[in-house]
Structure 1
Amino acid sequence: MHDLKHHRLNANGLMFRVAEQGEGPLVLLCHGFPETSHAWRHQLAALARAGYRAVAVDMRGYGGSDSPSESSAYSVFDIVGDLVALLGVLNESSAVIVGGDWGGTVAWQAAQLRPDLFRAVVGLGVPMMGRAPTRPSSLFPKTNSAIFYTHYFCEPGLAEKEFERDAEATLRKIYFAASGNAGPRDDPNTPNPFGMVARDGGLLDALPDPEVMPDWLSPTDLELIVSSFNSSGFRGGLNYYRNLDRNWELQAGLNGQQVQVPALFLIGERDTGLAIPGMDQIIKSMPELVPHLRGSIVVPKAGHWLQQEAPAQVNAALISFLQSL
């Protein structure tokens, strides 16, 4: 059987830590915030068994990969540049790109920009969205008592100070609150780490600290992810949010451009994103931007960490999509 290998590659002027398993057509796996390549542990083995070369990357700013100090180095275009360069280093002429959360945003953008390299795309949790009518920071809510979490993340030094105080407690709280285990998203009592943050507190204050983590995240898995964040810190991941307005500015030239490759979308029924007003409409109208969308699959009871929470359903959908290409 193909063993899982970890190695470091030099691409686009940075060092990247990747996890790799299997041989065959390349499937490139891109994680989100706050995760590492370990988020794809269940997919690597399944894809290898199905006859694919599965490569999961610690994205720029995360885990064992380099983390440039300037926050301006984290635009979606910089990240797509990393993936284009990684394809060359891996000696591959094309890949199917799969992404969840921020990795999903990057995957859609990669397929939109370079259909010659990314021959198909799978997005988890984050749909392909058109360019907003105005800069994102002006769309996110602020009240006298609270601000939307993206505003909180964009304040230099603020969120990292809170999160790095105790990385394990931070990850426990965020993973639990955004998971399907926290409860249905239409229940006002279900915690949501990606909502409003009180101006007189931090993001973690409003989240429960579970005594026992859900069974999809074993103590060993959590320990591995915590040790990654203890060494990398959270700044790299937060810098993705600090480029939301800049991404919007840079995307002007792509306005109206469709994703012209085969695509698949999956989302957990209890994904935190579904609490955002209008998200269901964005998902419904995706075929206008993604004409070759093969399906939008809603996974019952799963939350935001879809590939970790519901690996069997995700693997089955992924392999079926890959085999249809």
Structure 2
Amino acid sequence: MSALRTRIVEANGLTMQFTEQEQGEGPLVILCHGFPETSYAWRHQLPALAAAGFHAVAPDMRGYGGTTRPESSDQYTLLQLVGDLVGLLDALSVEQAVVVGNDWGATVAWHAALLRPDRFRAVVALGVPMMGQPPVAPTRLFPQTEEALHYTLYFQQPGLAEAEFERQVPQTLRKILFAASGEAGPRQPGDGTPTPFGMVSRQQGLLPPLPEPVTLPSWLTEADLDTYAAAFAASGFAGGLSYYRNLDRNRELLAPFHGLPVQVPALFLIGQRDVGLSIPGMREIIATMPSLVPQLRPVLEVLNAGHWLQQERPEEVNTALIAFLQSL
């Protein structure tokens, strides 16, 4: 199998960089990464999908890596992010694709399938389920006290999290990637285990309470970490953080689509130790997903895996993903 390569296209007004397997042919599969990642997160899936007869591409999402990083945070709504994927299809002269995503990429993938089922014929999501419209603005729902606030609220103030994360980029990534992985250990709702996606001390910030791993988790090499660190040293974190700064705006923009189900075949995978499962009520949200996604296949929970599922358990993810694609 030939090597991975990067390409540049113009899509939805962006210069978009994506990675693909050379000689990859067949039905198109778009792989959308989350925060804090880049297209490199899909390094194990691209060759496997090409070998199975699919043309898989993994873009650096808006604000990340080699793709354009708009300065204004209002340029990172879900409508714009779905528009980027439609623009990528157009740039590749492809009518339809299966869209796959993890973390924020999962949210984008769900909404691409919801809003443009004519272009995205199926969806696979890792870690983040499809959820209905919140009853009020999301930033009013997340908890905060005098001492701490939910990480999504910590991310709202431009420049605050950037200053912390960009101080020592390799250490930032090392801590976040480890703490949200299955190798950081099991978590239960309300057990107080520090995670990157929980409460943040107003005095300390997000990183100090996170464990400092003696060694990297088994699924992440020093070369992998260096690749991520180089990308974020160049881009900064403002682009990725801007996704969170549009939570309330997304609710407003998506109001006309409230109650509309995802009408295409769908698959959802989650790690048994995903930090999202430590959020009270998350399992109930997952259990009720079929009301929002009528063609959802049985949920796959991967034992002892964490939030970075396609990196932590590539063989299991590849097997499930390819079986789903071949069943369409």
Q: Provide TM-score, normalisation by structure 1.
A: 0.99
The equivalent of 2:66 in structure 1 is 64
Is it true that 1:48 corresponds to 2:31 in the alignment? Answer: no
Letter in 1 for 2:124: V
Structure 1 residue matching 2:196: 3-state secondary structure: coil
In 1, the alpha carbon distance for the partners of 2:128 and 2:319 equals 19
Is it true that 1:194 corresponds to 2:197 in the alignment? Answer: yes
In 2, the alpha carbon distance for the partners of 1:191 and 1:37 equals 27
In 2, the alpha carbon distance for the partners of 1:292 and 1:302 equals 25
Taking every aligned residue pair, what percent have the same amino acid on both sides? 62
Q: Return the offset for 1:208.
A: 1.3
Are the equivalent residues in 2 in contact too, given 1:182–1:190 (CA < 8 A)? no
Is it true that 1:6 corresponds to 2:10 in the alignment? Answer: no
Letter in 2 for 1:109: H
In 2, the alpha carbon distance for the partners of 1:51 and 1:206 equals 45
Choose which of 298, 309, 316 in structure 2 pairs with 1:295. 298
Structure 2 residue matching 1:205: 3-state secondary structure: coil
Letter in 2 for 1:255: H
The equivalent of 2:241 in structure 1 is 238
The equivalent of 1:321 in structure 2 is 324
Is it true that 1:227 corresponds to 2:212 in the alignment? Answer: no
Is it true that 1:277 corresponds to 2:280 in the alignment? Answer: yes
Letter in 2 for 1:164: E
Q: Return the offset for 1:3.
A: 3.2
Letter in 1 for 2:303: P
The equivalent of 2:119 in structure 1 is 117
Q: Return the offset for 1:49.
A: 0.4
Q: Return the offset for 1:205.
A: 1.1
The equivalent of 1:150 in structure 2 is 152
In 1, the alpha carbon distance for the partners of 2:151 and 2:134 equals 18
Structure 2 residue matching 1:204: 3-state secondary structure: coil
The equivalent of 2:18 in structure 1 is 18
In 1, the alpha carbon distance for the partners of 2:44 and 2:51 equals 11
The equivalent of 1:203 in structure 2 is 206
The equivalent of 1:133 in structure 2 is 135
Deviations 1:7-46 (A, max 9, x none): 1111111111100121100000000000000000000010
The count of corresponding residues between Structure 1 and Structure 2 is 325
Letter in 2 for 1:206: P
Structure 1 residue matching 2:155: 3-state secondary structure: helix
Q: Provide TM-score, normalisation by structure 2.
A: 0.98
Runs of 5+ consecutive residues of structure 2 not aligned to the other structure? none
Deviations 1:142-180 (A, max 9, x none): 111110000001111000000000100000000000000
Deviations 1:58-96 (A, max 9, x none): 000001111000000000100000000100101111000
In 1, the alpha carbon distance for the partners of 2:316 and 2:194 equals 25
In 1, the alpha carbon distance for the partners of 2:5 and 2:96 equals 21
Choose which of 180, 183, 187 in structure 1 pairs with 2:182. 180
Letter in 2 for 1:194: F
Are the equivalent residues in 2 in contact too, given 1:178–1:191 (CA < 8 A)? no
Is it true that 1:77 corresponds to 2:79 in the alignment? Answer: yes
In 2, the alpha carbon distance for the partners of 1:152 and 1:44 equals 34
Instruction: Between 229-238 and 272-281, report the one with greater CA deviation.
Output: 272-281
Are the equivalent residues in 2 in contact too, given 1:2–1:48 (CA < 8 A)? no
Structure 2 residue matching 1:226: 3-state secondary structure: helix
The equivalent of 1:259 in structure 2 is 262
Q: Return the offset for 1:104.
A: 0.2
RMSD: 0.9
Deviations 1:184-243 (A, max 9, x none): 012836431100001111100111111210110011111001000000000000000000
Q: Return the offset for 1:2.
A: 4.1
In 1, the alpha carbon distance for the partners of 2:87 and 2:9 equals 10
In 2, the alpha carbon distance for the partners of 1:231 and 1:307 equals 24
The equivalent of 1:308 in structure 2 is 311
Deviations 1:224-267 (A, max 9, x none): 01000000000000000000000011111010000000000000
Are the equivalent residues in 2 in contact too, given 1:119–1:262 (CA < 8 A)? yes
The equivalent of 1:165 in structure 2 is 167
Are the equivalent residues in 2 in contact too, given 1:183–1:190 (CA < 8 A)? no
Structure 2 residue matching 1:291: 3-state secondary structure: coil
In 1, the alpha carbon distance for the partners of 2:281 and 2:251 equals 19
